[in-house]
Amino acid sequence: MNEIDIALTVNGEPISERVEARKTLVDFLREDLGLTGSHVGCEHGVCGACTVRVNGAIVRGCLMLAVQCDGTIIETIEGLSDSGEVADLQAAFEQRNALQCGYCTPGMIAAAQDLLNRGGVPSRDQIREHLSGNYCRCTGYHAIVDAVESVAQERNKARAGAKR
């Protein structure tokens, strides 16, 4: 069996593990680290349920191998939740019922945060476009767009207030 040692930072914790070369990042997170908030939906990069952040950029956890993450900084929904970084997005999703079964939600929130980190208030079309790699079978997306739009407006207001 081809196994390789890797060292990386996951949600702020230093991690050293030996992994099979063929193991995907999302399987590593779920099976080796017990971080089951990242979900496996299609395992071929279409559904976005495994979206996590690697060195600040969102990636598909099923399209990256764990061994490629040696030396990287990984953030999953567990880390994003504990740090409070996406608390307003989570609250908006809950208020707007922008999730039903919740399986796509961790990936959806990571993708939405990626858009909102770019600043400004994106249009509904821009929000839809940015989330178009994240599959949700339950909501029909309308509520998700509402939730992301409302947080974009709130954050923009807060930024404008801070500048004043």
Partner 1 sequence: MKITDDSPPVLSALDRPNSYIGRSVPRPNLQRLTQGRGQYVSDVTLPRMAHVAFVRSPHAHARIKSIKVDAAKKAPGVIAVITGAELAKVMTPWVGVLTHLKGLKSAPQAPIAVERACWQGEAVAAVVARTRAQAEDACELVEVNYEPLPALTDPETALDAKTPVIHPSIADNLCFERKLDVGKVDEALASSDAVVETTFLFGRHTGVTTEPRSIVADWNVGEQKMTVYQGTQAPHMMQNLFAKHLGLAEHQVRVITKDVGGSFGIKVHTYADEMATVALSKLLKRPVKFVADRIESFVTDIHARDHRVKAKIGVRQDGTITAFEIDDLTGIGPYSVYPRTSGIEANQVVNLVGGPYTCPNYRAQARVVFTNKNVMCQYRAVGHPLAVAVTEGLVELAAAKIGMDPLELRRRNLIADDAYPAQSAAGLKFEKLSHHESLAHLDSLMNYAGLRAEQKKLREQGIYRGIGFASFIEVTNPSAAFYGVGGAKITSQDGATVKLDAQGALIVATGVTEQGQGAEAVVAQCVATAFGVPLERVRVITGDTDVTPYGGGTWASRAAGIGGEAAWQAGKALRANVLAVAGAMLQAKPETLDIRNGVVVDAASGTERLPLEELARVAYFRPDTLPAGIQAELVATRHYVPRAWPFAFTNGVQASYLEVDTDTGFVKLLKHWCVEDCGTIINPQLVDEQIRGGIVQGIGAALFEQCLYDERGQMLNGNMADYLVPMAAEMPDIECGHVVSPTADSELGAKGAGEAGTAGAPACVMNAINDALRPLHAAPLTDMPFTPGKILRALGKV
Q: By CB under 8 A, name the binding residues for partner 1.
A: 1, 20, 22-23, 30, 35-44, 46-47, 49, 76-78, 81, 90-97, 99-106, 109, 124-125, 127-129, 131-145, 150
Cβ proximity to partner 1, 58 vs 136, nearer residue: 136
Q: How far is the CB of 39 from partner 1 (least distance, A)?
A: 7
CB of 56 to partner 1, least distance (A): 19
Q: How does 20-59 read in b/e, with b if 16+ C-beta sit within 10 Å?
A: beebbbbbbbbeebebebbbbbebeeebbbbbbbbeeebb
Q: Which runs of consecutive H residues, i.e. helices, occur in the chain?
A: 25-27, 77-83, 87-95, 105-116, 124-130, 142-163
Which residue, 15 or 40, is less far from partner 1 as judged by CB?
Answer: 40
Report d(CA 101, CA 146) in Å as an integer.
18
Tokens for 26? 């999302």
Q: Indicate the residue among 68 and 128 with the shorter CB distance to partner 1.
A: 128
**Residues 155 and 137 sit within 8 Å (Cβ to Cβ):** no
* 69: DSSP letter: G
- State in angstroms the smallest separation of the CB of 76 from partner 1: 7
What is the smallest separation between the CB atom of 78 and partner 1, expressed in angstroms? 5
- Kindly tell me which of 120 and 140 has the beta carbon lying closer to partner 1: 140
